[in-house]
Structures are given as structure tokens and as C-alpha cells.
Chains A and B, each alone.
Chain A
Amino acid sequence: MAIILQLLFTGLGIGAVYALVALGFVLIYRATNVVNFAQGQFAMLGGYCMVITTVDLGLPYWLGILITLVVMAGFGAIFNLGVYYPLRHRSFLPVVISTIGASILITNLVLGLYGPEPTTLPGVIDFPGVSLGAVFLDSQYLVIIAVTLILVLLQYFFFEHTLVGKKMQAVSQDKEVASLLGINVTGMIMLTFAYSAVLGGIAGVLVAPILFVSVGLGAQIALKAFAASIIGGFGDVPGAIAGGLIIGVAETLGAFYISVPYKDAFAFILLFAFLLIRPQGIFGEKVSQKA
């Protein structure tokens, strides 16, 4: 029993990181109808921001987080202006390719500026974790799960109970009607990119003490997060959360009970199964066409 609980805890922890990055995928998809393949690089940038502010500059952790969030919001806005906005009237494919190009550019810029060496980032809490019987709860995983829960609640409140959140939802549902209602569509999309970059940055900050900070950090998470968003139902916010947690738990349990070397395969077997049996994902609605 202790083993299952330990695996569940770790799976939920790593799954929460996938969920945060998947949320970024989903929000941008809803607002723009394109997939942002640089979402993983947002996580990597968040990790580097924290290293620069707290390790290199020696600033307090809370200040490092604050600066990282501001920098990531600004970066999201710039990303929107440079990568999405010029191509907003083009079809799906050019924009997607543009985001892939941007992800390569970001990775190589960081590589050029900061070098290839992986580096360490201390955790938010300065103790390794707590033991509950035979189950060890890593403090960083506890923080990850808690932050994800808080963010989901905040996001729900923001989208359902604030005017800006409702405007963003309106834009994601129908840009033309939103525009006719006087909503600044361009501004709302800008805000969505900024928020998605912040989410990615938070994921990077949270996972960096466990996986270390390197240019490969984003790619390591992004592919699973993308699978999570499809499993949950692409474009669905609760689905992204559920998809992330399901993949995290499935790969951890699968690795222990079936095969460690095929750990990464379990996420994609799940993805394949969903695409085959329920392509709309867990929470997605089936789209049917009239004859």
C-alpha cells in the first residue's frame, strides 16, 4: 500500500507540472485557435529567470519569483507581437510553424547567453520533505501540487467572476461577436499570451529544483503536456488539468508495475488510445457534421 501511495504522490506531482504547461497550451488555443509549441520553452525561461535572480544576483526567493512572473508576462506579450500577431490572419499551419521556429530560437538564445551546463535551483521550502509512515512526501512536489490547485481555483475565479476574465472567454468563443460587443480582441489575445507565459514560467520555477535548469527543460515537459491537453480534450481547461494528472500517474505506475525503460511510452500509448477511441478527449464534446 505504501508503494502505491508513494507512486501516486510522485505521479500527481509530476502530473501537476504537465497540467500547468498544458493549461498554457489550452488557453492560447482557445484564444487563437493555434497550438503554441514554444510553451515548453516558457517553462525553461522561467527556470533561468529564477537562477539569474536568486542564484546569480542573490536576490530573495520571493523577489525572484515576482521578477520572474513580471518578466514572463512581458515575454508572453512580446511573443504575441512577434510570433502570432503578424500571422493572425493566416491559416493554422504558418502560425504553428512560427511557434516552432520561435521555440528553437529561444532555446538557442538561452544556450548562447547562459551556456549548456545544467545548474541547480534551491526549492521554495528549505527542507527535503516529510515522511508519513513509509511514504515520503517531497516538499517540492507538495509545493507543486498546492500551487497547481491554487492556480486552478484562481483561474476559475478570474474567468467566471471578473470582467476581464469574461472578456477573455468571449474572445476565445467568438472573436467577431466579441469585437461587435466592443471588446478589445487584440488586447485580450495579448493578455492570454502573457498569462500563458506566466503559467509556463511558474511550471519551470516549480520543476527546476527537481529536474535542474538546462536548455532541455522545456522540451522534457512540453511533449507530455501536449499529450495531456489532447487526452483532456483540447481546448478544455479542466481537461488539461485532468490529462496532466492522468499522464503523470499512469507513467509512474506503469514504470513500476510494467517496465521502467518504457515509462515515456505509457503517456503516448494513452494518447494513442484516446485518439482512437475518444478523440475529443475526456471533457471534449463530439463534433458532428450535418450532411
Chain B
Amino acid sequence: MTTPESAMSRTLHAQPQSGMVSAAAAMFWPRARCWRAALGHGAAALLACALLAGPERAVTADTAPIIIGMVTPLTGPAAESGRYAEWGAEMAVSEVNAAGGVMGRMLKLVIEDDQTTNPGVVSAFNRLANDPAIVAFLGSIRSTQVHAMDPDVRRVGKPVFFGGTDPNLTHAGDPWLFRCRPNDTYSAKVIAAFGVETLGLKKWALVTSTDAFGSSGARLLSAELQSLGASVVTAQGYANQTPDFTPVVLAVKGSGADVIGSYFTFEQDLAIFARQLRQLGVRSAWVGSPSITDTAALHLAGPALFGTYGVADFNADSSPEARRFADAYQKLHKIPVDQFAAWTYDAINLAALAIGNAKSTDPQGMRAAILAIRGYKGTEGVYDFDANGDGLHGYNVVQNKNGKIEFVKRVDFPAP
């Protein structure tokens, strides 16, 4: 499925440059870019560009925008969350540029549609990677897509910030992947600890997607529950985009589980399951992975999710930084913020911080600067990058109270 929108990349200049500066900066890269910039900024810029054009007159890159590429779903089943991700990244770019940019240069975001598919994300990433001016990338929030991108990420050799939570992604030897959300080792630890120790529930039903994210979550949660002395009475995997969950719900109901642990990839699946679960009379407690707290899931499932718990990498009440971002996002977009926007907001800020600290956009320099980040207070938590590229090491526990997500507590683990 391809739309006119998906067929083209979208760019964002949060603070457009003007006149001579813009034109001269644009000249550093290929001539076509120069002409595009010049045309965009008017006749004066065009004249300046023409006068200064020529390889022998090429100016330094000191004032050229620093370009960050982003792949996100603008079409397909995850398009709604893709839009939120785009908004989060755009807000960060605007704020960084409003504060003077990085090393005196503006940030520029170039976006490609990944169509919510693995082939789509690979194609989108490669389209971006073909532009040598792009210094870093924002990858997918979906682990299965990051797995698909991984060989190309290694080949390109530039930092890629991503949001997928499969722990294997940062443990498979790719030095260019940097995670801006806590991985599932932590979500599984927090789901299990909260359910077993805080709620006192020991008979678990697991409902998980069969994709990379869900399978990894199921495996880790089973291991954590086992270590806490709880039992998994049924484990139900489902294929994404399932129209009917009756067999899963009946299996959960028949298992006698007193609590459900879940890893859902898509909000539509989660909402269909939640509604059928309540219709068929299952009243067990439910502690889910972050998708249970998504804006889209809350909208689609409505009362069927009331009373459920979830682990959320982002919660507006978890820190002053998160609150400030949530208020600004709400003011701008008129909807509550969720983790889809939060991680991309943090990723842009981390990229800017790393470039600033490295004083360079050289990939190796940026990599070293990212891994050296300690104690950076982002909206998702405090970033302490470990050697694998994991920035966060804890989760918030939240509860859906009549459709409103309320903060319960923050659980952090020391970085390994």
C-alpha cells in the first residue's frame, strides 16, 4: 500500500535560515540541494547561491543544517502512533533550534514512511541512508522492524536511535543501535514484580503477540515469574491483526489464572481482546506492556481497560521533565502525549547532546559521546547508557482509572 504521502519524504525546518547564510550553507552539499534551498528562500538567496557556486568556492559546513533521518509509519496499521512519533521528534527539533541549534547549526529532520512493514522500514531506511548528509537516524519503535533494519544499520555505520524493546537488539553486536526506551528485560521484571509482590497474584496467563516483540516479552516474563515463584497456567500467542480473540479468551478463562500478563504490538488487537475478555466474564487483574496505556488503545477499548495496570516507559507524572513535555505537547496537539512521541523527543535531544559533546558529526565520535551520556534527564527517565547501547533501565507502573492513566510508582534498576 503506497500513498502519495508515503511516496515522498517529508522534511522539517523548524527555524528556516534566510538569505546569504542559508544559501551559502546549502552550497556545501550537492548542487541540487543548493538550488532547492535557494528556491525555498527567495530570489535574494538564489542570487547569492549562484554568485558563490563552484567547488573552488565551497564554504565550510559550519552553518549547514545537521540532518537527522527518521523512519516512522505514516501509513499502515501503526500510522496513528507514527504520527505521534513524528510530532515528538518535530517538537524536539523546534526546541533545539529555538535554543540556537547544535554547534551553531540548525537541526533538520527528514522523514520516510515505513508503511508499518518490515520491507517498508528497510526500504525507507535505505532511501535515507543514500543521503550522505544525514548524520544519525531515528529507527522504529517496533522490534521486528529494527531486526529487519539491522544489517543495513551495520553497513551504513551511523548512530540509529530506536524504540523497540526486544533486549536482543542491543546484545547482538551492532555498535550503531542506541535504545531510547527501557528494554523488555526491565518491563518483564516490573510486570512480574508488581503482579506477584504488590498485587500478590501468582497464577498467570500470558497473552503475547507472536512477533519478535511479543515472543521476547513472553520468554522474559515467564523467566521472571518463575524466579519469583509464580506459575504460568496458560501461555497464548496470537498473530497480529487477529479479528477474533474468543479462543484466547476462553483459554484464559479456563486456565483459572488470577492475573494476565500481556505483550500486545497493535492497539486494535489489544482493544478487541479487551472487549471480548470482559464480555466473556473474565475479571482477572491485568498487567500489560506499554501498549495497554497507549492513547489509541484507551480510545478503542474504552471501559474494557478500566482498572488494568501497565508498565509505561513514559508517564507525565513521573518527572518534571515529563510533565513539561506533556503540557507542551497537549497545548500544541490538543491530545495527551504517550510514549510514541516521548521516545522520539528524547532521541532528538540525545542526538543533539551527543553531537554537541563530540563537537562533531563524525559517526565514531558521536558513538563515543552517546555511550558517555550519564544522568541525562529525559522525558522517559534518566539516561545512563551502558556499553550495549541501552539508555534506560526502569519503568513506571500506571493504572487505568476510568480511562485516565494514573502514575503508581517508578521502578529503576542500576545500569549493568
Contact = CB atoms under 8 A, between A and B. Distances in A.
A111 B246 contact: no
Interface in A24-80: none
Interface in A113-140: 115-118, 120, 128-129, 131, 136, 138
A112 B4 contact: yes
A183 interface: no
Nearest to B244: A14
B99 interface: no
Given A3-B250, A260-B247, A211 B3 contact: no
B403 to A, nearest CB: 13
B250 A256 contact: yes
A6 B302 CA distance: 24
A210 B272 contact: yes
Contacts of A116: 74-76, 79-80, 82-83
Contact of B280 (A6, A216, A256, A261): A6
B301 to A, nearest CB: 9
A104 interface: yes
A99 interface: no
B247 A118 contact: no
B243 A14 contact: yes
Contacts of A118: 77, 80, 267-268, 296, 300
User: A108, A117, A212, A260: which has the most chain B beta carbons within 10 Å?
Assistant: A260
B238 interface: yes
Interface in B267-288: 267-268, 271-272, 279-281
A169 interface: no
Interface in B294-353: 296, 299-300, 302
A210 B272 CA distance: 7
Contacts of B254: 3
Contacts of A220: 241, 243
Given A6-B280, A7-B250, A112-B4, A260 B268 contact: no
B247 A111 contact: no
Interface residues of A, number: 37
Contacts of A7: 246-247, 250
B369 to A, nearest CB: 36
Interface in A1-27: 3, 6-7, 10, 14
A264 B250 contact: no
Nearest to B253: A3
B152 interface: no
Nearest to A128: B279
Given A120-B299, A120-B300, A214-B77, A263 B272 contact: no
Given A6-B250, A136-B279, A261 B237 contact: yes
Interface in A180-217: 207, 210-212, 214-216
B248 interface: yes
Given A120-B299, A256-B247, A256-B251, A212 B238 contact: no
A107 interface: yes
Contacts of B5: 112
A236 B210 CA distance: 37
Contacts, number: 99
A252 interface: yes
Nearest to A120: B300
Contact of A108 (B2, B243, B279): B2
A211 B238 contact: no
B15 interface: no
B248 A260 contact: yes
Contacts of B247: 7, 252, 255-256, 260, 263
Given A3-B254, A136-B281, A260-B236, A211 B272 contact: yes
A108 B238 contact: no
A116 B82 CA distance: 10
A76 to B, nearest CB: 23
Interface string B1-42: 111110000000000000000000000000000000000000
Given A7-B247, A210-B272, A117 B79 contact: yes
B402 interface: no
Contacts of B75: 111, 116
Nearest to A14: B244
Given A104-B1, A252-B246, A263 B76 contact: no
Contacts of A10: 244, 246
Given A112-B5, A128-B279, A117 B239 contact: no
B242 interface: yes
Given A118-B80, A252-B247, A216 B4 contact: no
Given A116-B79, A260-B248, A263-B242, A212 B237 contact: no
A207 B244 CA distance: 11
Nearest to B237: A261
Nearest to A108: B3
Nearest to A129: B279
B10 to A, nearest CB: 14
Contact of B300 (A138, A212, A263): A212
Contacts of A108: 1-4
Contacts of B4: 108, 112
Given A220-B243, A255-B248, 13 more contacts: A112-B3, A112-B4, A115-B79, A116-B75, A129-B279, A138-B279, A211-B243, A214-B77, A215-B1, A216-B241, A260-B248, A261-B239, A264-B239
Report the 8 A-B pairs with minimum CB-CB distance, sorted nearest first: A116-B79, A256-B247, A255-B247, A10-B246, A117-B80, A261-B210, A108-B3, A261-B237
24 contacts: A6-B246, A7-B247, A7-B250, A107-B1, A108-B4, A115-B79, A116-B76, A116-B80, A116-B83, A120-B300, A131-B281, A136-B279, A212-B271, A216-B77, A220-B243, A221-B243, A252-B246, A255-B247, A255-B248, A260-B237, A260-B238, A260-B239, A260-B251, A261-B210
Interface of B: 1-5, 74-77, 79-80, 82-83, 210, 236-239, 241-244, 246-248, 250-251, 254, 267-268, 271-272, 279-281, 296, 299-300, 302
Interface of A: 3, 6-7, 10, 14, 104, 107-108, 111-112, 115-118, 120, 128-129, 131, 136, 138, 207, 210-212, 214-216, 220-221, 252, 255-256, 260-264
